Structure 1
Amino acid sequence: MKIQKLGVLFCLLAGILLTLTACLDSTSQPSTSEGKTETENSADLGENVVNIGFSGPLSGSAAYYGEKILNGMELAIEEINQEGFEVNGKTYKLNLVALDDKYLPNETAANAKRLVEQYHTPIIFTPHSGGVYALQVFNEQDKFLIGAYTSEPSVTEKGNSLTIRIPPSYHGYLEPFTTYAMEKFGTKLAAIPPVTQYGQDWAKALIPFWEEKGGEVVYESSVDFAKDTDFFTILTNALKKNPDVLFIGGPSEPTAKVAKQARELGFKGGFIVMDQAKLDEMQRLTGSYEFLEGSIGTMPIIYADYPGVAEFVDKYRKKYGKDPGSESGYHYLTMYVLVEAMKAAENVEDAEAIRKHIQDGLDAIPEEKKVYVIPRVDENGAFKTNVRVGAVENGEIIGIKVN
């Protein structure tokens, strides 16, 4: 009888220990709820921590795009946190809290509410215009700054006082992209932008510009990268119209698949590539520049000659084992701008005060951190950077002069 009682007691204790172990394991891992992937890096940062929010695609077809952004942010934060930064006699460090929104604006809004209420983030970065628009509904009321990584100009032209737009407007690409493609290949365009808000806005800007320059739009449709992995039908329909140029874009990975499949279906013309996709990344994904010959898009950061590029690219390659994209570079730089703005504002919490000192942040960036040279932020919050354009010719990327 005693042996049986001891056996029962042992089983009960073992069950309790297993339950406690499971609880401890679940609390020590990044949490996942409602499909959100959360990462947080707050260990051993000390008492004075500023949480930086991010809501972007960390799963699905645009996950690689979101990963590159986080890599740039994390690289800057690691460097900044080596010594921290001082505001009003206190030394602060940064903590990145990243939530997955799967490129869905409603998820971006839900994530932002959580980031502000739970983590008190003074700024939330999001890399798609649909997400920016969703946040602009309430960010001034909830008093957080939006770090908008989109070249859609309307996100700052709407007059939202707590938005900064990081990359240059895509309007600067319309003329060089159109001129190059028409001169090299012809005037018939098939437009196949993504269904995202950003893709549709880009198309609404490019198509009338193309027509104003004497071009003809022979086919127009959209692709949903969240659902489509094979593009045979849409490309077949487009190629039946004998276009000289295809307008494509979105994240690099699915855009590369579209370009490759178009070539496999016999397309010999050129590609106009939206600025979200990057030519060097598309080459790595397709395996050859052969599929991208005649493409025009943004110049990859690894070929830029800004003061801080060489050091940044070297650090990025050592840490992540691959080349950075412009998303990585812009967010790396913006983390330094943000810290300098907090110093100038003498405040790490007040989004309005930080926004007022963004220009001071730009002015204070050390030369070795200038992976882009951004002379000023305009009155609406847009960083003013010149566009840089590249094209694939004879198996390599060459620079294209922009007037």
Structure 2
Amino acid sequence: MTVTFKLKHLAATAALGLAFTGSAFAQEVVKIGFSGPLSGGAALYGKNVLDGMQLAVNEINAQGLEVAGKKYKLEIVSLDDKYNPSETAINAQRLVQQYKTPAILVPHSGGSLALQVNNEQNKYLLLSYTSVPQITARGNKLTLRIPPEFTSYVPAFVKHAMTKYGKNIAFAHGDHDYAKAWTAVFKPAWEAAGGKVVIENPMSYNRAADFYSGVSRALAAKPDVMFIGGASEPTGLVVKQARELGFKGGFVIIDQAKMDEMTKVTGGYGPLEGSIGVLPLIEDKTPDAQNFVTRFQKAYPGRVPSSEVSLNYTAVWLLAGAMKASGSVTDATAIRASLDKAAKELSPAHNPNTLDGVDDKGGTLADTRVAVVENGKVREIKLSALK
């Protein structure tokens, strides 16, 4: 074999290799936006949301995403908004203009409401991780509300707390928009059931590192029950300090706070005795939930996933399915129209919270799961038993 022939052979082989390489990496990248708290008191909350999204993206990319005959790779662009709706709006403008994101996930109501001002005009889908009814009630045609509405929890929470502890309640929740929305629904429900609000003392869960002053003020009103909630870590600190100050009553915990995460601050479920809140994912004994927990812990050793992780994981799978069903990765209107179909076709492995569909207003449909702490252990209770 001559030197010239060898060189030609090597050149041809290299060209063929480059052709195959080009084909293998011909996937276009679709960027999904995230704007949420990655610093401050709610940083763990934001990280949980983002980790759930990233796990889904990793699995989708490994499996392969093909839309209308073309292969795509998903990528998340995450920006910190410090739980500030004004920052969320700025981040969204950057995500759309600089990164061309067809969808942006926001894990708080204030930021979601801020983006609904112009997301239809700017033609991107808002993936809103908040259970406040206003998100879908406003009629925004490019919104998906990821969790079910929180209103389904309220009757059960009222009945459990009032029956077990008494009728006097202190509101010591966070001062952010989501906690305010919960209060606006829970307060009249408590009063309609014959209860009395002895004090309203919202606190800055996202900025404060000590709640002794606010908790002391709430306890001075002699409540039987405390209504609390924000991100898990500060909510856990409120419980810890209330017990240290001698509070013996129960806690109603809004669904943003997760009891299993709160135990990292309280030192276990003991201080949460008598509490009612959402069922921690780790305590969900269904096979699909346990399978998800196992997969998450393999990807993130030493971590315990919350429902923030699992629901936003499912939201990304749902988005990918809607892209396939609509035949587009950029047309937010077509993707939104395909969400219900995609939800019904979700694999159980990708849907540990068993979302059943998406309604006409863009809200997910699912059975809510509730738990109480009794004798230092979590016990799931059926909503029907508390109505």
> TM-score when scaled to structure 2?
0.91
1:372 aligns with 2:344: no
Counterpart of 1:112, as a letter, is A
Change (3 A) 1:281 1:128: same
Amino acid at match of 1:132: S
CA distance in 2 between partners of 1:295 and 1:45 (Å): 52
More off after superposition, 103-112 vs 329-338: 329-338
Alpha-carbon deviation of 1:295?
0.7
What is the rounded CA distance, in whole Å, between the counterparts of 2:235 and 2:158 in structure 1? 19
- Relative distance call for 1:307 and 1:334 in structure 2 (3 A) is farther
C-alpha displacement at 1:306, in angstroms? 4.4
Conservation of the 8 A alpha-carbon contact between 1:306 and 1:370: no
Aligned to 1:90: 70
Q: Deviations over 1:250-277 (max 9, x none)?
A: 0000000000000000000000001000
Is the 1:45–1:93 contact (alpha carbons within 8 Å) kept by the matching residues of 2? no
Q: Give deviations 1:202-226, integer Å, cap 9, x for gaps.
A: 1111011000000000011110123
Name which of 102, 107, 112 aligns with 1:127. 107
Aligned counterpart for 2:372 among listed residues 384, 388, 391: 391
* Structure 2 residue runs without a partner (length 5+): 1-23
SS of residue paired to 1:124: strand
The 3 A distance-change label for structure 1 pair 356 and 305 is farther
| Letter of the structure 2 residue corresponding to residue 322 of structure 1 | R
Q: Distance in 2 between matches of 1:88 and 1:145?
A: 20
1:108-153, Cα deviation, whole Å (9 max, x unpaired) = 0000000000111110000100000100001000000000000101
**Structure 1 equivalent of residue 251 of structure 2:** 271
How far apart are 1:47 and its partner, in Å? 3.9
Task: Give the match for residue 172 of structure 1.
Answer: 152
Which amino acid is the alignment partner of residue 277 of structure 2? G
Contact 1:307 1:370 in 2 (8 A): no
Query: Do structure 1's residue 339 and structure 2's residue 320 form an aligned pair?
Result: yes
Matched residue of 2:303: which SS?
Answer: coil
Counterpart among 140, 160, 163 of residue 160 in structure 1? 140
Q: What SS does the aligned partner of 2:251 have? A: strand
Match of 1:241 in 2: 221
Give 1:83 deviation, angstroms. 3.2
Tell me whether 1:351 sits opposite 2:332 in the alignment: yes
Which residue does 1:232 correspond to in 2? 212
Size of the aligned set, in residue pairs, is: 360
* Superposed counterparts of 1:2-401, under 5 Å: 47-320=27-300, 321-401=302-382
The answer on whether the counterparts of 2:106 and 2:127 sit within 8 Å (CA) in structure 1 is yes
Name the SS of the counterpart of 1:82 in structure 2: helix
Q: Partners in 1 of 2:249 and 2:222 — Cα distance?
A: 9
Identity %: 48
CA displacement, residues 326-355 of structure 1 (integer Å, 9 cap, x when unaligned): 000001111111111111100000000000
Please give the root-mean-square deviation of Cα atoms over the aligned residues, in Å: 1.2
Q: Residue by residue, what CA displacement relative to the aligned partner does 1:254-310 show, whole Å, maximum 9, x if unpaired?
A: 000000000000000000001000011111222121211111000011222445212
Structure 1: which amino acid aligns with 2:335? I
TM-score (norm 1): 0.87
Q: Distance in 2 between matches of 1:277 and 1:226?
A: 12
The 8 Å contact of residues 54 and 125 in structure 1, kept in 2 or not, is answered as yes
Following superposition, the deviation at residue 368 of structure 1 comes to 2.2
Partners of 2:240 and 2:265 within 8 A in 1: no
CA distance in structure 2 between the partners assigned to 1:110 and 1:227 by the alignment: 21
Which amino acid in structure 1 is aligned with residue 88 of structure 2? T
Gaps (5+ residues) in structure 1?
A: 1-43
Question: Contact 1:48 / 1:92 at 8 angstroms: preserved in 2?
Answer: yes
